[in-house]
Amino acid sequence: MKRFVVLILLLASVYDAESQISSGTVITRILNSTYLKNTSGENPNRKISVYLPPGYEQSKKRYPVIYYLHGFGGTDSIAPNMKSILDLGIARNKIRPYILVIADNYTALGGSFYSNSSSIGNWSDFEAKELVAYVDKNFKTIANRNSRGIGGHSMGGYGALKIAMLYPDVFSCVYALSPGLLAFVKEFGPNSDSYKQLAAIKTKADLDKSYYPKVIAACASAWSPNPNKPPFYIDLPFNYIGDSLVVDTVVYKKWQANMPLYMVDQYASNLKKLKAIKLDWGRNDSPRFPVQCGMFSQALENHGIEHYAEEYIGTHVNKIWTTDGRVLNEMLPFFADYLEFE
């Protein structure tokens, strides 16, 4: 009986401690971007949400920064959940206090794919150059690569790997949660129905009703825009004449140049400059994620690039920003291990 009472008191004390967690602050700003000026009508004024840890205003310390990239169809609106997870991580001593930044990368077609585009703006440069410079100027950051990490989920995981590859002088480590569009596989391969479905869609309203065709259109808007080709002003790597597949090799190469699996050969030396690389994926996610993540990990291994790759039991969304999820229990501690603190 005494043991039961002690257990109840212990659980009560833990609950009481976590109910009094010190609270960080999320502030929002609008960044008028030079890099995002474009010819497609996308708004270059971008909202950013910045998590400042408990005690930030009173402290004289400077802090490492994690740049987090949201997924397709998302915005910086993940910020409220971000705050509670970061507060909890700090309270449980899983992590030391960070600044965490999320920018709104939503576009008319659902996402920028964090890529430089002649049509919708230069989103890679916006994230790695303009946003980093703005945050360093306006917040108490440790303004060097050793104290900057980049991570993201799905489209954001893709973007994190790509930007880390392109800008190892800006970021020192990367964590990609279920990164998408690493390669031409499954739903985005030539023999899927996605390209046929997109070819049959003629209006934006109909495009918005279909997931995979919309993702493909967003990729094309970033990687192979064509201002002379309505209705969506894009070129595709795979087209169909009736049931016959026709490969546009020029566009195919443009897409390969933007897919991380095929970028490894060119950017292996940049990847080796990073202090740490990790990607993970859920076993019960769409089949393309285990396939493409395994392929990417193998490509890194073939180049002798040290990294971590982990499959866990989960789907695409059920264990990300949750108390039992990958952000709190894996991604944030990963950055705590590899970023430099003051």
What is the reported pLDDT for 9?
Answer: 42
Does the residue 129 lie in any domain?
yes
User: 3-state DSSP call for residue 60?
Assistant: coil
Q: Which two tokens stand for residue 202?
A: 């003629």
- Give the type of residue at 33: S
What is the reported pLDDT for 8?
Answer: 42
Does the residue 76 lie in any domain?
yes
Residue 49 sits in the same domain as residue 195:
no
Residue of 334, 203, 213 whose CA lies nearest to 280? 334
* SS3 readout for 137-185: HHCCECCCHHHEEEEEECHHHHHHHHHHHHCCCCCCEEEEECCCCCCCC
CATH code of 167's domain: 3.40.50.1820
CA gap 143, 135 in Å, rounded = 9
* Residue 46, beta-bridge partner list: 31
Residue 64 sits in the same domain as residue 194:
no
Residue 59 sits in the same domain as residue 193:
no
What is the reported pLDDT for 243?
Answer: 83
Of 232, 253, 274, which one is at a domain's C-terminal end? 253
Whole-model pTM: value is 0.92
Residue 193 sits in the same domain as residue 65:
no
CA gap 286, 272 in Å, rounded = 30
What is the reported pLDDT for 20?
Answer: 59
Domain that holds residue 309: 21-183+259-338
Residue 114 sits in the same domain as residue 136:
yes
Does the residue 329 lie in any domain?
yes
Mean pLDDT for back-to-back runs of 10 residues, the chain (342 residues): 44 46 92 96 97 96 98 88 94 94 97 97 98 98 98 98 98 98 93 91 95 96 96 95 91 98 98 98 94 98 98 95 95 97 93
User: 3-state DSSP call for residue 91?
Assistant: helix
